[in-house]
A = this chain, B = another copy of it.
Amino acid sequence: MNVILKPHTTLEEIKWVEGRLRELGVDVHVSVGKERAILGLVGETACLDDKKIAAWPHVERVIRIQEPFKRVHRLSHPEDRIIQVGDQQIGGKNITIMAGPCSVESHDQLFTIAKHVKQHGAHLLRGGAYKPRTSPYSFSGLKEEGLQLLAEAREEVGLPVVTEVTTPELVPIVSQYADVLQIGARNMQNYGLLQAVGKVDKPVLLKRGLSATIEELLLAAEYIVAEGNEKVILCERGIRTFETATRNTLDLSAVPVIKRYTSLPVIIDPSHAAGKRDLVIPLVRAAIAVGADGIIVEVHHHPEEAWSDGAQSLTLPMFDQMMEEAERVAQAVGRTLHATSMVR
Contacts and interface: CB of A to CB of B under 8 A. Distances in A.
Interface of A: 2, 4, 7, 27, 29, 31-36, 38, 40, 42-43, 46-47, 49, 51-52, 54-57, 63, 65-66, 68-69, 75, 132-140, 166-169, 186-187, 189-193, 209-211, 213-216, 219, 222-223, 226, 239-246, 249-257, 260, 273-274, 278-279, 282-283, 285-291, 303-304, 306-311, 313, 325, 328-329, 331-333
Contacts of A69: 135
Given A36-B65, A68-B137, A289-B289, 8 more contacts: A35-B66, A49-B138, A134-B216, A213-B243, A242-B242, A246-B257, A285-B289, A332-B332
Contact of A240 (B56, B211, B287): B211
A70 B121 CA distance: 43
Contacts of A239: 241-243, 249
B274 A253 contact: yes
Given A43-B34, A132-B191, A138-B49, A303 B241 contact: no
A40 B51 contact: no
A267 B189 CA distance: 24
A289 B331 CA distance: 12
Q: Which 9 A-B pairs have the closest CB atoms?
A: A55-B310, A211-B211, A289-B289, A332-B332, A33-B42, A286-B290, A285-B289, A29-B31, A31-B40
Contacts of A303: 55
Contacts of A313: 55
A286 B289 CA distance: 5
A102 to B, nearest CB: 10
A304 B252 contact: no
Contacts of A4: 65
A199 to B, nearest CB: 13
A168 B166 contact: no
A254 B47 CA distance: 32
Nearest to A2: B2
Nearest to A304: B56
A304 B222 contact: no
A333 B285 contact: yes
A28 to B, nearest CB: 9
Contacts of A42: 31-34
A107 B96 CA distance: 49
Contact of A304 (B7, B57, B68, B245): B57
Contacts of A55: 303-304, 306, 309-311, 313
Contact of A245 (B190, B257, B307): B257
Nearest to A279: B256
Nearest to A291: B282
A289 B256 CA distance: 16
